[in-house]
A = this chain, B = another copy of it.
Amino acid sequence: MDWQQAWDQLGQRGYRKTQQRMIVVKEVFAGGCLQGAEEILSRCREKDGGISMPTVYRTLDMLVDAGLVRRVNLGLGRTWFEPGGPDDDHHHHLVCEQCGKREKIALCPLGIVENEAKRSGFKVRELHFEAVGLCRSCAAKERKK
């Protein structure tokens, strides 16, 4: 999915098509995995100039509601965003807490968890599955200390 398809989807949901929203949508879809709100804001400002943090968050909220962007929580005190719906292309991460280096985890336990949850009548809405650690080079530096 490219930004224009996402943009159309928002229109179909009745959201007004404003300049600011378009910029945010473009930037989020131009970026990759795990983008921070602050980072999205500054990228939008490089292109446009006038855009505010509340608008970034509001637009991200609607993108998440529309199932076009995923919200990812790494337990590091802030939220990350990435293009893609909850089903489509969904994946998990391995992140270096020192340098931020990141890679995707191939495995996804969602199916197993849903099965286990179903037994007690639980309906899973969000699966947090993220690993934080040290990449090879940061682990090496750590050892030298």
List residues of A whose CB falls within 8 A of some B CB. 73-75, 94, 96-97, 103, 105-107, 109, 112-113, 116-117, 120-136, 139
Total copies of this chain within the assembly: 2
Please give, as numbers and ranges, the residues of chain B lying within 8 Å of A74 by CB-CB distance.
128
Q: Are B133 and A109 in contact (CB under 8 A)?
A: no
Distance in angstroms between the alpha carbons of A133 and B125 in the assembled complex: 4
> Which residue of B97, B107, B109 is within 8 Å of A116 (Cβ)?
B107
Contact A133 B122, CB 8 Å, known A73-B75, A94-B117, A116-B107: yes
> How many Å from the CB of A128 to the closest CB on chain B?
5
Let me know if A135 and B112 touch, CB within 8 A. Answer: no
Of A96, A120, A123, A134, most B-chain CB atoms within 10 Å: A123
